[in-house]
Structure 1
Amino acid sequence: MPVTATATVDAAPAAVAPAPVASPVPVPVASAVPAALITVPDVSGMNHQAAQDTMQAAGLYNLREVDGGGQGRMLINDRNWVQTGQDPEPGATVSADTVITLTAVKQGE
């Protein structure tokens, strides 16, 4: 004997309540914070290592070194070189990413 299956289907789907709409929430926007300014220390007469340490302690790490004797030598042994100049000048106010040029000559020159 064959079996017959029947299904009952509702004529109208049940009403679905709309999802609640959230109120817009203000999102804080990061404002541009000015970079901290640093006063360039005076490293005149220091050995090159002490000058580098002083600049870094002040927060200045973008250091460039120049042979003040004009021979284009690399300052390999920092303690054998004496600072004769710097740019920017001591007391200048700069941002932390400013290039600081330290000019030095070998001791005894």
Structure 2
Amino acid sequence: MRLEVVLQIKRVVVGVLAAGALSACGAEEDAAPVTVTQTQTQTSYVEAAPVAPAGPDASAPGAPAPTAAAESWTMPNLIGRNLQAAQDAIQELTDYKISFSTSTDLTGEGRAQMMDRNWQVCSSTPAPGEPLTVGTPVDFGVVRIDVESCP
């Protein structure tokens, strides 16, 4: 729409300038005045409201939309694996719907697990066999591999 208006305005301006230039080129003083007419076209679009499907499967007006069932998995037993392998297993099981988990240093020293492959999983929340959903926080209790034993 804007492009059409701009092009029309350009045409009018060019016409007016051309008429002015020609009239300044030694025309007689009694020359008739030039009349320029400008036409502007405007296009507007209206977005249609969604149409409810017809037929026996259509829901009644005002009825709530059906919700998808929440996905659920069973927490696998990841005790004894390194932390990175445990995290990878959760992501693979849930098709990356759960891509974040936390880990806790079980020695009580509060150390951060910077290199996940250097830590062994001793416990998990939720426990193995318990339900696991997208909203379930996953935490692994860990100790250093080959240096410490699970409590």
Q: Judge same fold: TM > 0.5, yes or no.
A: yes
2:75 to 37, 40, 53: 40
Matches within 5 A, 1:80-91: 80-91=118-129
1:31 aligns with 2:31: no
Structure 1: where are the runs of 5+ without partners?
Answer: 1-23
TM-score w.r.t. the length of structure 2 is 0.52
Structure 2: where are the runs of 5+ without partners?
Answer: 1-50
Instruction: Tell me, in whole angstroms, the C-alpha distance in 2 between the residues paired with 1:99 and 1:72.
Output: 19
* CA deviations over 1:39-75 (Å, ceiling 9, x no partner): 1111100011101101111113231111111110110
1:97 aligns with 2:97: no
Number of residue pairs aligned between Structure 1 and Structure 2: 86
RMSD over aligned CA atoms reads 1.9
- 2:84 aligned partner: 49
Larger relative contact order (Cα-Cα within 8 Å, sequence gap ≥ 6): 1
Instruction: Tell me, in whole angstroms, the C-alpha distance in 2 between the residues paired with 1:98 and 1:25.
Output: 35
Tell whether the 8 Å contact from 1:61 to 1:97 is kept in structure 2 after alignment: no
Instruction: Tell me, in whole angstroms, the C-alpha distance in 2 between the residues paired with 1:25 and 1:101.
Output: 44
Q: 1:25 to 1:89 in 2, by over 3 A?
A: closer
SS in 2 for 1:54: helix
Q: 1:33 to 1:73 in 2, by over 3 A?
A: same
TM-score w.r.t. the length of structure 1 is 0.70
Runs of at least 4 residues off by over 4 Å: 24-29
SS in 1 for 2:91: helix
1:73 aligns with 2:111: yes
Instruction: Tell me, in whole angstroms, the C-alpha distance in 2 between the residues paired with 1:25 and 1:98.
Output: 35
What's the % identity of the aligned pairs?
31
Q: 1:35 to 1:70 in 2, by over 3 A?
A: same
More strand by share: 1
